[in-house]
Amino acid sequence: MSEINPRQARYADMYARLTDQMQSVRIILEQMEGHEYAAISTYMNNMEAIARFYEVAGGSLSEPDFLNYLKQKDLNLFVEILAVGRAVSLMKNLLVNIRRILETDSGLSRQGTMPE
């Protein structure tokens, strides 16, 4: 029987954490897809949770050996993480542009002051 070396054990732990976290993200995404929100703060909190997940996952994926491990172990999870990252980037860009448009439409200047 072959023994698991420390690196393999570490990667197995990282993989288990990513798998658990991705399950939580899936639940949030399902809620966000088809539900109306009574408060924008709830929606934004969900977006922040997804963004935090991607920051942590991105850190793990930046390690080339773990990246290869994940691709071999669970290619679907790897692709799903990338898709979440793309969605987060798109949503952040959308929100930045909405804020800019709302500030422009309401007459706010770059300094955040109202015109007289």
Residue 79 included in any domain:
yes
Tokens 């954490």: give the residue: 17
pLDDT at position 102 is 87
| Rounded Cα–Cα distance for residues 29 and 68 (Å) | 26
Least confident of 11-15, 56-60, 70-74, 99-103: 99-103
pLDDT tens for each residue of 18-54: 999 999 999 999 888 887 878 888 888 898 999 999 9
Candidates 23, 32, 22; CA nearest to 82 is 22
Of 72, 46, 70, give the one whose Cα is nearest residue 58.
Answer: 70
Asked if 91 and 33 touch (Cβ cutoff 8 Å), the reply is no
Structural domain contains residue 115: no
Domain with 13 in it: 6-105
Residue 45 lies in a domain: yes
pTM to 2 decimals? 0.75
Average the pLDDT over 67-85 and give the result. Answer: 96
User: Quick check: helix, strand or coil at residue 39?
Assistant: coil
User: Average pLDDT in the 67-78 region?
Assistant: 97
Domain count, the chain: 1
In a domain, 110, yes or no: no
What pLDDT is attached to residue 113?
Answer: 54
Residues of the chain by 3-state class (helix, strand, coil), percent to 5: 80, 0, 20
The answer for residues whose C-beta is within 8 angstroms of residue 20's C-beta and 6 or more apart is: none
